[in-house]
Amino acid sequence: MSKPQLPTPITLAQIQEVVGGTIHGDSQTPISGLTSLGQADPQALSFITNDKMSKAAANLPVAALLVHRHLSDLAVPQIVVDNPMLAFARVAQTFFVRPQAPRGVAEQVTQGADVRIGADPSIWPFVTLGDRVTIGNRVTLYPGVFVGSDSTIGDDSVLYPNVVVREGCTLGARVIIHSGTVIGADGFGYVQHQGRHHKIPQLGGVVIEDDVELGANVTVDRATFGRTMVKRGTKVDNLVQIAHNVTVGEHCILVAQVGIAGSTTIGHHVMIGGQAGLSDHLTIGDQVMIAAKSGVNRSVESNQIVGGIPAMPREKALRVQGVIFQLPELKQLVRDLEQRVATLETRMKKTPGRIARTQAARSNKR
């Protein structure tokens, strides 16, 4: 996608109406695009979140800036707001995201029995809807989407091409699911008997609450019994695995390639870094931060920061990491000490009489 541009410029005053804040400079400055500080564009709006970024903007031609405080040394017009990045996102959403007119239901859609579709849908060709599927208002389903029987898609949700929602799953309102994601695949449940793995039927479902976004190729497995749940406001990056009977709390962040094993419960506002792995049947408290590549094999209390393999408190993990970088020197030190001890032992074996006489002399003095 090319750099976002408007056919008709807007003014800084119009932007202030959306984001609030205080204007410093010409309120009628025209804005026709958005840009980052790394790309010059004299007609575009950019943003600065801290003083370090302000140095990069000193010689960069942009039309105006959203800033965290007034930067008097910059001649460019500015709007001072509490959170420039959030303000920038609101500007992009308000002025640069084009609303799509409803397309209706394409002729090439396959529908089962008793399907209910809400007002103003956009259901593209080659979508499949099973029996008793309920689609809310203003839902967009792109080509290749499959929604299994007895599933529900809430209002204003968007499912991109080739998303699969298996039978008996529920998606809330304003849910966004990116391409290739599978919701409601069978959980990985088997029982071993006489050397063979026997499948345990996965009879539960999946609930995705309001305002959840799942990236591309995410898998959320159905519960064995009950439900696997991703609660409202949580954002999940690409290639994340959420196993059967897991509960992910409200407003969590799961970065790419995170894996969460079955029946683990995660609190609200938890942040899990990329490629972290969580074992099964754990409880992760509220507002926990788990560093990238961590291996979590024990439950974590609320408000903790952990990292490492196995995961441990951040301060200890940093010390362990520091020692790892010194291992070659420590290995050489151990070798040197081993040689010194061996030399001393050899000397002691060669002079046993002298040692005995010394010990006897000490005893006589006592």
Distance CA 268, CA 234 (A): 9
Which residue is catalytic, options 24, 68, 178, 244? 244
Q: Token match 């609320």: residue?
A: 302
What Rg do the C-alpha atoms of the chain give, in angstroms?
31
For 317, the 3-state DSSP assignment is helix
Q: How many CB atoms lie within 10 A of CB 209?
A: 19
Q: Judge whether 278 and 284 are in contact, CB under 8 Å.
A: yes
Residues paired with 228 in a beta bridge: 206
| Token pair in block for residue 304 | 């903790």
Going by their DSSP bridges, the two strands 227-230 and 247-248 should be labelled as parallel
Distance CA 268, CA 17 (A): 33
Q: Judge whether 16 and 27 are in contact, CB under 8 Å.
A: yes
Buried b or exposed e, range 333-352, using 16+ CB within 10 angstroms: eeeeeeeeeeeeeeeeeeee
Q: Judge whether 115 and 96 are in contact, CB under 8 Å.
A: no
Respond yes or no: is residue 269 known to be catalytic. no
Q: Which residues are catalytic?
A: 244
